[in-house]
């Protein structure tokens, strides 16, 4: 039915969004790791989180103030 089709499309869209978030998170983690390896000035750990915004138009990146 039409309702099931919409639900399937929404699930597929959500899965793509999650995959994008995980890929970007992994890229950010790799950049942090690379900087920690090459920059001996960094002495504190960096904690970051990434999530999609409510409107799914942007990505929110939150890090510790030291970074």
Out of 8-17, 22-31, 42-51, the most confident range is 22-31
The per-residue pLDDT for 38 is: 65
The per-residue pLDDT for 52 is: 63
What is the extent of the structural domain holding 25?
A: 2-63
- What torsion, rounded to 10 degrees, do the Cα atoms 48, 12, 56, 20 define? 30
Out of 13-17, 26-30, 33-37, 51-55, the most confident range is 26-30
Task: Please state the domain count of the chain.
Answer: 1
Look at the pTM and tell me if it is higher than 0.85: no
Average pLDDT over residues 43-54: 63
Average pLDDT over residues 62-66: 65
The answer, yes or no, to whether residue 40 has pLDDT greater than 60, is: no
């Amino acid at each position: 039915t039409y309702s099931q089709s919409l639900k399937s499309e929404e699930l597929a869209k959500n899965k793509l969004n999650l995959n994008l978030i995980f890929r970007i998170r992994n890229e950010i983690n790799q950049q942090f790791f690379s900087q920690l390896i090459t920059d001996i000035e960094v002495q504190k750990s960096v904690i970051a989180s990434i999530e999609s915004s409510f409107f799914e138009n942007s990505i929110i990146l939150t890090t510790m103030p030291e970074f």
